[in-house]
């Protein structure tokens, strides 16, 4: 087959810079602040192992068989309970939920059912690149709005929306993509005021909000803020959730919550895409949620991650002695965003960093316009505290040499 | 969100008639010849339960974590061994393989990387509707070629290809979709002669073949025929495989084998689509294959299915007393295709059949032009032999009344 006989969609696909950068590093002593993978020691493996065995032995007619595209009914019921207890979302029915093969599939399905090549999507700058890669293959145009210490620059967002309106293109604005809790990569939390303002905008100009909340349960400081979905009472919001950061990413359990018509459309898309998410991993997740111990377990993870986060903040304070450097102090999640003065190019520095045994994600990965960046995303979830100290020390040295 | 703001792709999506017809039938005594789900008693559940427990306890850092998009390296190695031993395919490297979330994802990814709205795809008539639904969302045009007792009408296929050539559209012919072993829905096997002819056509006119082989190991009579992939020595062929029919569909393990460049492109698509197939189900499959007992196990399944198939053929002989009715006698797989005289409409009959407690898939589901059909697909894998006898008896009565 000839190269030029690939589809136009395939030409829009771009490899994740994270996956490429972190591929086969092969350096044994490498300390990686790169991926967003949780600490595997937080996985409740003894309990999951027993559940898995029981589920295969006793529920094999479901767990090992084809299942409904919409998801395991038992898992959906358990998720409805969790959303009620933890987020105060009432009145959800099974038809408001679609179980997906990880959050990534939720993002892809939303792109699939909502985006055309003349559509617009508003995102933050910086923005989670997995979402961009999912949406991008459907060819929309991105409008990027600055992320400030309390989230989106809402004024700038409204200005952009008004521009679309003036150009008679408002109906092509499909949605705003938002990670209100401990955003990836910035670690920033959208303030209550701005949450309300965003929901108001969505009502005023009648666009959807895709609210991605993988980290909400991983709060280390401060009080929980209401989800956009709650504030909007479900109107015009699709809420995405996942068990990847609080149970296990290897189970690949994601969730879309929203209007039943949109959910049905996404399920129709899923039929063609993978028929159903594995019955085995869904039923394991369902039985695990049913035990009711997950939130005690998450408390333990929160302790571990809080301590790692503080360790990293202390280490940055101690070792990053660059005038003008600034970094976020996230209330939760997995990431710290470190911005250096403009003369640094963190993409250029990346290879040097790898040579001295430390990896991060260069900021450029998180901009839809591929701009140069003097920032880096530092994930504190996977390395040990000693590795965090040592890794940040190495970065500090590198910056000293390079400035 | 307004209905008209769904994407153009979503407007091409069509619900699987199988899933809709078989949804919530709620009739306890219903005997279903509908789905293609394997008999759950063929699942090696005791062994899979132990493996699952071990994998979670001892390999949690892989099985419960994010994994490589390309698939579990251990599973890929095991698959390479299987393809060598069972199909005589030599020289495969890991980069020739992509693990997918079921075969359905393989079909979707192939559509994603190869199809545009001006592309052509050649399929059989009748054809597996899951493939059509995967390809259809990318908007290609389908050219349907009759399926005869020994597979594609190859002369008709060449005529259609020549037409494209005359219209200067040959370069838009992306691939022929083929299920050479025990085709779904017809049960027909592509003869050796026609396999060679198809590969010759693909060389002569330079198009790809997507060879889907979910049932190859389920042969009940006759000798194994070489795959198109073998005959073509891998040139211009993508071979699809799955563990769904021989291990468990609930694990959702599919496979694309082909040229490393195309496989890499499909992996790039998969990154955006679901990041990776669950580590847990992949590693369970890998460890199960490693035990080396699967082919002994399949022998047992083959005995069960052969007996069920013969039971169904006998029952049709006995109860379907309609002049002009004809049906396939498949050498393997899961389906018998029963064609009635043209005055029957099996879609119309379907509701009546359900009322008397038997379900099948109306033939119309398997035509890309949604034509009326007097055929039905009968799956013999899931019901017991007594149910097969009773169900075919009910169909026989219905036809007597209705003719």
Q: Are residues B326 and B268 in the same domain?
A: no
pLDDT tier at B27 (50, 70, 90 boundaries)? low
Is the pLDDT at A33 greater than 90, yes or no? yes
Q: How close, in Å, is residue B88 to chain A by CA atoms? A: 24
Q: Are residues B61 and B199 in the same domain?
A: yes
Is the pLDDT at A11 greater than 80, yes or no? yes
Model confidence pLDDT, tens digit, residues A270-298: 999 999 999 999 999 999 999 999 999 99
For chain A, say whether B12 makes contact (Cβ under 8 Å): no
* Per-residue pLDDT, B291: 97
Identify the domain boundary among B273, B293, B313. Answer: B293
Model confidence pLDDT, tens digit, residues A316-373: 999 999 999 999 999 999 999 999 999 999 999 999 999 999 999 999 999 999 889 9
Q: Are residues B255 and B398 in the same domain?
A: no
For chain A, say whether B7 makes contact (Cβ under 8 Å): yes
Cross-chain CB nearest to A65 (options B3, B37, B174):
B37
What's CA A261's distance to the chain center, in Å? 24
Residue A7 located in a structural domain = no
For residues A86 and A217, the answer to whether their CB atoms sit within 8 Å is yes
Residue B230 located in a structural domain = yes
Q: Are residues A97 and A236 in the same domain?
A: yes
Under an 8 A CB cutoff, do B9 and A133 touch?
A: no
Cross-chain CB nearest to A104 (options B6, B275, B279):
B275
* Per-residue pLDDT, B5: 76
For residues B316 and B336, the answer to whether their CB atoms sit within 8 Å is yes
Mutate to test the interface with A, among B8, B64, B135 (most CBs of A within 10 A): B64
Please tell me the distance from the alpha carbon of residue A229 to that of residue A54, in angstroms, as a whole number: 36
Q: Which of residues 87 through 106 in chain A touch B, CB cutoff 8 A? A: 101-102, 104-105
Q: Are residues B220 and B346 in the same domain?
A: no
Under an 8 A CB cutoff, do B275 and A13 touch?
A: no
Which CATH number fits the domain that encloses residue B215?
3.40.640.10
Under an 8 A CB cutoff, do A271 and B60 touch?
A: no
Is the pLDDT at A25 greater than 60, yes or no? no
Please tell me the distance from the alpha carbon of residue B263 to that of residue A6, in angstroms, as a whole number: 12
For chain A, say whether B67 makes contact (Cβ under 8 Å): yes
Q: Which of A265, A326, A118 is nearest to B12 (CA)?
A: A265
Q: Are residues A77 and A126 in the same domain?
A: yes
Residue B2 located in a structural domain = no
Q: Are residues B224 and B101 in the same domain?
A: yes
Cross-chain CB nearest to B60 (options A43, A273, A275):
A43
For chain B, say whether A357 makes contact (Cβ under 8 Å): no
* Per-residue pLDDT, A66: 95
How many degrees, rounded to 5, is the angle at CA A371 between CA A365 and CA A376?
45
Q: Are residues A52 and A29 in the same domain?
A: no
Mean pLDDT value across chain A: 94
For chain B, say whether A250 makes contact (Cβ under 8 Å): yes
pLDDT tier at A402 (50, 70, 90 boundaries)? confident
* Per-residue pLDDT, B23: 66
Model confidence pLDDT, tens digit, residues B61-83: 999 999 999 999 999 999 999 99
Under an 8 A CB cutoff, do A268 and B37 touch?
A: no
Write down how long chain A is: 403
For chain B, say whether A112 makes contact (Cβ under 8 Å): yes
Is the pLDDT at A14 greater than 80, yes or no? no
Residue A6 located in a structural domain = no
Q: Are residues A226 and A350 in the same domain?
A: no
Is the pLDDT at A403 greater than 70, yes or no? no
Is the pLDDT at A71 greater than 90, yes or no? yes
For chain A, say whether B214 makes contact (Cβ under 8 Å): no
Is the pLDDT at A90 greater than 90, yes or no? yes
Please tell me the distance from the alpha carbon of residue B103 to that of residue A383, in angstroms, as a whole number: 36
Structural domain range at position A314: 13-43+296-402
For chain A, say whether B277 makes contact (Cβ under 8 Å): yes
Residue A83 located in a structural domain = yes
Structure tokens given for B322: 């309609």
Q: How close, in Å, is residue B273 to chain A by CA atoms? A: 5
* Per-residue pLDDT, B29: 80
Residue B1 located in a structural domain = no
Segments of B279-360 assigned E as strands:
326-327, 335-339, 358-359
pLDDT tier at A1 (50, 70, 90 boundaries)? low
Q: Are residues A241 and A375 in the same domain?
A: no
Antiparallel, parallel or unpaired: β A173-178 and B335-339: unpaired
Task: Please report residues of B whose CB lies closer than 8 A to that of A235.
Answer: none
Residue A1 located in a structural domain = no
Please tell me the distance from the alpha carbon of residue B364 to that of residue B339, in angstroms, as a whole number: 12
* Per-residue pLDDT, A15: 72
Identify the domain boundary among A268, A292, A316. Answer: A292
Mutate to test the interface with B, among A171, A250, A252, A283 (most CBs of B within 10 A): A250
Count of structural domains within chain B = 2
Q: How close, in Å, is residue A262 to chain B by CA atoms? A: 9
Q: Please report where in the chains the tokens 């399905």 appear, as a residue.
A: A109
For residues A382 and A32, the answer to whether their CB atoms sit within 8 Å is yes
Identify the domain boundary among B255, B275, B293. Answer: B293
Q: Which residue has the higher pLDDT, A35 or A313?
A: A313
Q: Are residues A159 and A220 in the same domain?
A: yes
Angle between helices B279-291 and A279-291 (to 10 degrees): 120
Q: How close, in Å, is residue A182 to chain B by CA atoms? A: 20
Residue B288 located in a structural domain = yes
What's the mean pLDDT in B12-26?
Answer: 68
Which CATH number fits the domain that encloses residue B332?
3.90.1150.10
Under an 8 A CB cutoff, do B273 and A45 touch?
A: no
Q: How close, in Å, is residue A154 to chain B by CA atoms? A: 21
* Per-residue pLDDT, A2: 54
Q: Tell me the three state secondary structure of residue B349.
A: helix
In total, the C-beta contacts within 8 angstroms joining chain A to chain B are 249
Q: ω into residue A344 within 30 of 0, thus cis?
A: no
Closest-approach residue (CA) in chain B for A252: B278
Model confidence pLDDT, tens digit, residues B321-347: 999 999 999 999 999 999 999 999 999
Mutate to test the interface with A, among B252, B266, B285 (most CBs of A within 10 A): B252
Is the pLDDT at B25 greater than 70, yes or no? no
What's the mean pLDDT in B243-265?
Answer: 97
For chain A, say whether B265 makes contact (Cβ under 8 Å): yes
Q: How close, in Å, is residue B126 to chain A by CA atoms? A: 18
* Per-residue pLDDT, B35: 85
Q: Are residues B57 and B157 in the same domain?
A: yes
Cross-chain CB nearest to B248 (options A13, A19, A64):
A64
Q: Which of A183, A226, A194, A230 is nearest to A332 (CA)?
A: A183
């Amino acid at each position: 087959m000839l190269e030029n006989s690939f589809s136009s969609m395939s030409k829009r696909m771009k490899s994740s810079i994270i996956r490429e950068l972190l591929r086969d590093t092969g350096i044994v002593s490498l300390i990686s602040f790169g991926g967003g993978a949780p600490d595997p020691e937080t996985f409740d493996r003894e309990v999951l192992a027993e559940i898995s065995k029981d589920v295969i032995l006793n529920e094999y007619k479901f767990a090992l068989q084809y299942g409904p595209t919409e998801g395991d009914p038992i898992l959906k019921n358990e998720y409805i309970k969790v959303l009620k207890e933890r987020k105060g979302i009432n009145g959800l029915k099974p038809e408001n939920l679609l179980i997906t093969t990880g959050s990534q599939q939720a993002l892809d399905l939303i792109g699939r059912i909502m985006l055309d090549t003349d559509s617009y999507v508003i995102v933050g700058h910086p923005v989670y690149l997995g979402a961009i890669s999912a949406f991008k293959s459907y060819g929309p145009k991105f409008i990027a709005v600055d992320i400030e210490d309390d989230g989106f620059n809402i004024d700038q967002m409204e200005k952009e929306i008004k521009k679309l309106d003036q150009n008679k293109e408002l109906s092509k604005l499909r949605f705003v993509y938002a990670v209100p809790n401990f955003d990836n990569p910035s670690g920033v939390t959208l303030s209550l005021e701005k949450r309300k303002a965003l929901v108001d905008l969505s009502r005023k100009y009648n666009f959807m909000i895709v609210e991605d909340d993988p980290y909400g349960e991983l709060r280390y400081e401060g009080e929980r803020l209401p989800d956009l979905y709650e504030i909007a009472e479900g109107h015009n919001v699709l809420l995405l959730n996942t068990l990847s950061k609080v149970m296990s990413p290897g189970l690949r359990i994601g969730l879309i919550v929203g209007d039943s018509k949109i959910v049905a459309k996404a399920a129709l898309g899923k039929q063609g895409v993978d028929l159903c998410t594995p019955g085995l991993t869904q039923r394991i997740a369902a039985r695990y949620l049913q035990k009711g111990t997950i939130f005690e377990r998450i408390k333990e993870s929160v302790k571990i991650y809080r301590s790692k986060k503080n360790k990293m903040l202390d280490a940055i304070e101690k070792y990053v002695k660059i005038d003008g450097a600034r970094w976020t102090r996230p209330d939760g999640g997995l990431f710290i965003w470190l911005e250096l003065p403009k003369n640094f190019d963190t993409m250029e520095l990346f290879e040097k960093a790898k040579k001295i045994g430390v990896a991060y994600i260069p900021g450029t990965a998180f901009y839809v316009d591929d701009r140069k960046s003097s920032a880096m995303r530092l994930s504190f979830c996977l390395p040990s505290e000693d590795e965090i100290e040592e890794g940040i020390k190495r970065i500090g040295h590198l910056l000293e040499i390079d400035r």
